[in-house]
Structure formats: structure tokens, C-alpha cells
Amino acid sequence: MDEIEVENGIFFTRYGAAYLEDISAVAVSDVHLGYEDVLAMNGIFMPRVQSEMIYETVSLIIDKYKPEKFIINGDLKHEFSRNTPQEWSDVYELLRIIDQKSEPIVVKGNHDNYVANISSKLGIRTYDIYRDGRYTFHHGHKAFKWDDMAIIGNEHPAVGLRDSVDSVLKLHCFLYFKKERLIVLPALSIYAGGSDILKNDISSPVLRNVNLNDGRVYGLWDAYGTIDLGKVGDLL
């Protein structure tokens, strides 16, 4: 399925974006542009393919859902400190692409210490926390408070599914906590391997304060799109 409506006006899409119909917005997280540059600085050289794939995915999302706002919910770039040359180029280009058809909203993650230096060149401001309608957007690397629905990233959630011969299929996924009013976005980066939630190795302080087993898992599978896998506790 291209998307699943998890509650009124909230859709989890196969592209790793949440579509929020009531505020005409899409939200993605953990893009980590510049990843290849950071590896190169440490002597590991990889083809620079991620940025073009991200541009294509973002353009597809915008063309399909036509959002008024495009929210990047943290970790737009990868290097913690200064902006690398690749980050200057790739982040600027992605924001320029979004800005042509939608309003870019940049929420800062723990990797985004200097991202405002880039976004300001396009007149785009950054936020530590962003609120719109019933939603509170925060990267999730620190504790924070919300009223209705919180949307975070940071965790790079994934789920490892085992078959009868113990082969593992690992899928990036959305997490949805109905009672706690919390959504966790998957990583958009192609290099984010994903943190297997079934191993209960949680890094986000926000997730440590909820009952993980009650979270509902929506996996992203290339062959089938977005699939409802049930609750975390039922997959253990």
C-alpha cells in the first residue's frame, strides 16, 4: 500500500514520510546528507549516491501529496560540528528543491548544530521545536513536553523479522503510540541501518518513557509498501 491512515488525517507512506492532511504537511526525519564526506574524512570512500536518491524521493513525495509545508524533523545533515563541503552543497540543493513547491520547515536534531548557516542562505529559519495545529515536532534526542500528538525521529526505528530457518528481513518502520500520542518517523537516509526495536536497544529519552511493547509497527517494504505488523509486544 502507498499509505496507511493510522488515525483521522494521519497517513504513513511507503516513502518514509508521514502525511498530515489536516495541516497540509509531510514530515520526514534523519536525512543525514553529507554522510559520504564524513566517511571520507575517516579514510572510507563511498560513491556519493545518497543525495540524488533523496532529491528524487522528496520530489516524488511533494508531487504526490502536494503539501503546503515540508517538515524535516531533525538530522538534515550528518557531521556534528562544522558543515562539510558536501553538506553545504547537498543541504542547500535539497532545501532549494523543496522551496520551489512547498514551505521547508527545518527542526534541528543533534547533528544539526550548524545547519542554520546553510538554510539561512535561502531565508529558511530553523526550530528546536515546531508546533502546528495538534502536532508538536521535535527530533527526540532530548526530553520535551507536548499536548496532543508528538512526532519525533532520532531512533531510526527498524524491525527484524525472522522466518523458520532464522533468516532475517530488516525493515525500516514507523512507530505509533496511540495512548501516549506519539509517532516515531523512520530514517530517510539510505545509510541508516535502523535500530531493531525488537532488541529493545532504545536511544531516545522520549521512547524510554513509554511502553515500547504497546507501540504499533508499520513496516516499509519495497515489494508491498507500508504494512501494518501489529504491536511490538506481539512480534517478540
Q: Where do the domains of the chain lie, and which CATH numbers do they carry? A: 3-235 (3.60.21)
All residues at 6 or more sequence positions from 166 whose CB lies less than 8 Å from its CB, including other chains: none
The helix/strand/coil state of 117 is: helix
> Residue 184 — φ and ψ, nearest 5°?
-115, 125
Torsion of CA 138, 106, 111, 150, to 10 degrees: 10
All residues at 6 or more sequence positions from 115 whose CB lies less than 8 Å from its CB, including other chains: 76, 77, 83, 91, 106, 108, 126
Each residue's pLDDT expressed in tens, for the chain with a length of 236 residues:
999 999 999 999 999 999 999 999 999 999 999 988 777 777 877 778 899 999 999 999 999 999 999 999 999 999 878 898 899 999 999 999 999 999 999 999 999 999 999 999 999 999 999 999 999 999 999 999 999 999 999 999 999 887 656 667 899 999 999 999 999 999 999 998 788 999 867 889 999 999 999 999 999 999 999 999 999 999 97
Q: Distance between CA 167 and CA 181 in Å, rounded? A: 34
Q: Name the residue with cell 500520542.
A: 181
What is each CA distance from 146 to 56, 130, 174, 187, 196, in whole angstroms? 33, 11, 19, 22, 26
pTM score, two decimals? Answer: 0.95
If you ran DSSP here, which 8-state letter would residue 61 be given? H
Predicted confidence at residue 210, as pLDDT, reads: 95
If you ran DSSP here, which 8-state letter would residue 211 be given? -
Predicted confidence at residue 99, as pLDDT, reads: 98
